[in-house]
């Protein structure tokens, strides 16, 4: 194996194993920043040794054993937790008789518990949403600071500063490495779901830049959602979020043409939708609905996405059901953005005039003042009503508000088409 091949293998192993390493080490040293440092040191050791010695039979166990050596030294130097020190000392003596696999199995708690705790720490409410997102991708996604910065189109030093500050805040606050219970768990879990969905949405429709999508973020969000569903399988909304992401991800290959230009939902070639992801999404939705009679926001959105997934053609879409699901969603999550989506569904079910009436009622909402999709939706409805001059103005306004270059091009093209229709009229 060449050095390049070894490094590629190490990178793949790191993506899979780093969350488990950091979670287990955090339980030992009670500091997520220190834990990540030890995990990184194990990675450096692998980069130095594996190209020459070969990839170990169990690379994850090798990394854990190497990192735990450093953690033990750290605890000894700092004279922390004397009882823990003695316990780890006994483990050091026994290590000569253990294989690397047995060492990992000797950890106090199941790996799954550690991963869940790490998720809850990375998404702790004392951190800002931006910090939660960066820390989650760093600790649980295995992404480098540079990769996170490129994905969100911000300078690398900004992401690095967010991560360092987040780890410092968690350390200074002495956030316990434990799974909260009751209402606190519900609140923390809500933060985890929000962060995962935020990551997915940024990948699915990029808010800025030259690309319509950033698939790496969608892939990481999906992976985190699936892991979370495995860790707490009795939480309906976790399955609801996974279902929503799976179904949306099924359309990704159909959302852009060969040049990377956006293709809107109703114009997509549904033969290009990924049927495996759709089946997985529908199965996750069924599980969410089985676990709770009252569907939460993610489960409701997944049910809406399922209506599209089940329709073989755009004309077969059950828009009345979608509109009714949005009505329920609005009651749970009162939001002008959700109302705007409901207006689109109503326009498809009952005609553009009915939808336009709802959209116009949202025009005064402060949160939609600079939201480019409001004039975009309004322009679409006006175009269907053959009010082409007004439609052109709305598309141009929407184009001026979006920060995504691909979307701006699409909106300006729609404005030009509306103008052409004016001249033909």
Contact 224, 249 (CB under 8 A): no
Beta carbons within 10 angstroms of residue 74's beta carbon: 18
Q: What band does 183 get if pLDDT is binned at 50, 70 and 90?
A: confident
* Size of the chain, expressed as the number of residues it contains: 425
Answer whether residue 25 shows pLDDT above 70.
yes
Over residues 413-425, mean pLDDT: 89
Q: What is the overall mean pLDDT for the chain?
A: 89
Answer whether residue 400 shows pLDDT above 90.
yes
Spatial distance between the Cα atoms of 73 and 92, rounded to a whole number of angstroms = 11
pLDDT digits (tens, 9 = 90+) for 196-205: 998 999 899 8
Spatial distance between the Cα atoms of 129 and 123, rounded to a whole number of angstroms = 8
Q: What is the pLDDT of residue 76?
A: 83
Over residues 394-403, mean pLDDT: 96
DSSP-assigned letter for residue 212: S
Q: What is the pLDDT of residue 404?
A: 92
pLDDT digits (tens, 9 = 90+) for 349-393: 999 999 999 999 998 888 898 999 999 999 999 999 999 999 999
pLDDT digits (tens, 9 = 90+) for 86-131: 665 655 555 444 433 433 333 344 446 888 899 999 999 899 989 9
Phi, psi of 30, deg, nearest 5 = 60, 30
Answer whether residue 7 shows pLDDT above 70.
yes
The whole model's pTM is what?
0.81
Q: What is the pLDDT of residue 339?
A: 96
Answer whether residue 39 shows pLDDT above 50.
yes
Answer whether residue 62 shows pLDDT above 70.
yes
pLDDT digits (tens, 9 = 90+) for 74-90: 888 876 455 555 665 65
- Which of 67-81, 208-222, 235-249 is most confident? 235-249
Over residues 49-64, mean pLDDT: 92
Q: What is the pLDDT of residue 93?
A: 56
Answer whether residue 420 shows pLDDT above 70.
yes
Contact 175, 112 (CB under 8 A): no
Spatial distance between the Cα atoms of 236 and 225, rounded to a whole number of angstroms = 12
Give the end-to-end CA distance of the chain in Å, rounded to a whole number.
69
Q: What is the pLDDT of residue 107?
A: 39
pLDDT digits (tens, 9 = 90+) for 147-164: 888 878 789 999 999 999
Q: What is the pLDDT of residue 281?
A: 98
Q: What is the pLDDT of residue 87?
A: 61
């Amino acid at each position: 194996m060449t050095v390049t091949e070894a490094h590629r293998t190490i990178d793949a192993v790191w993506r899979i194993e780093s969350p488990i390493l950091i979670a287990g080490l955090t339980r030992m040293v009670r500091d997520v920043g220190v834990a990540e440092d030890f995990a990184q040191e194990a990675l450096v050791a692998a980069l130095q040794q594996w190209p020459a010695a070969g990839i170990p039979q169990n690379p994850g166990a090798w990394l854990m054993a190497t990192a735990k050596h450093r953690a033990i030294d750290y605890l000894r130097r700092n004279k922390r937790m004397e009882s823990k020190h003695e316990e780890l000392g006994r483990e050091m003596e026994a290590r000569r008789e253990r294989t690397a696999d047995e060492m990992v199995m000797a950890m106090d708690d199941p790996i799954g518990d550690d991963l869940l705790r790490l998720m809850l720490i990375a998404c702790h409410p004392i951190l800002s949403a931006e910090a939660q997102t960066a820390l989650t991708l760093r600790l649980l996604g295995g992404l480098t600071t540079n990769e996170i910065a490129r994905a969100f189109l911000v300078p690398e030093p900004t992401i690095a500063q967010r991560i360092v500050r987040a780890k410092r805040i968690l350390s200074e606050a002495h956030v316990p490495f434990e799974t909260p219970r009751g209402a606190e768990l519900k609140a923390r879990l809500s933060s985890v779901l929000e962060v995962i969905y935020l990551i997915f949405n940024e990948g699915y429709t990029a808010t800025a830049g030259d690309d319509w999508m950033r698939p790496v973020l969608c892939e990481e969000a999906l992976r985190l959602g699936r892991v979370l569903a495995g860790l707490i399988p009795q939480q309906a909304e976790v399955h609801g979020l996974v279902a929503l992401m799976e179904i949306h991800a099924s359309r990704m290959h159909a959302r852009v043409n060969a040049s990377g230009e956006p293709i809107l939902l109703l114009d997509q070639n549904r033969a290009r939708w990924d049927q495996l992801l759709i089946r997985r999404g529908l199965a996750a939705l069924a599980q969410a609905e089985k676990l709770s009679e009252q569907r939460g926001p993610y489960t409701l959105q997944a049910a809406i996405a399922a209506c599209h997934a089940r329709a073989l053609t755009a004309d077969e879409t059950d828009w009345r059901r979608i509109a009714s699901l949005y009505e329920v969603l609005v009651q749970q999550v009162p939001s002008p953005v959700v109302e705007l989506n409901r207006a689109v569904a109503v326009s498809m079910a009952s005609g553009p005039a009915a939808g336009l009436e709802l959209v116009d009622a949202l025009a005064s909402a402060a949160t939609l003042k600079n939201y480019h999709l409001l004039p975009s939706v309004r322009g679409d409805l006006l175009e269907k009503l053959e009010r082409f001059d007004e439609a052109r103005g709305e598309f141009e306004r929407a184009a001026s508000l979006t920060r995504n270059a691909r979307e701006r091009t699409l909106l300006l093209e729609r404005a030009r088409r509306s103008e052409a229709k004016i001249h033909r009229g």
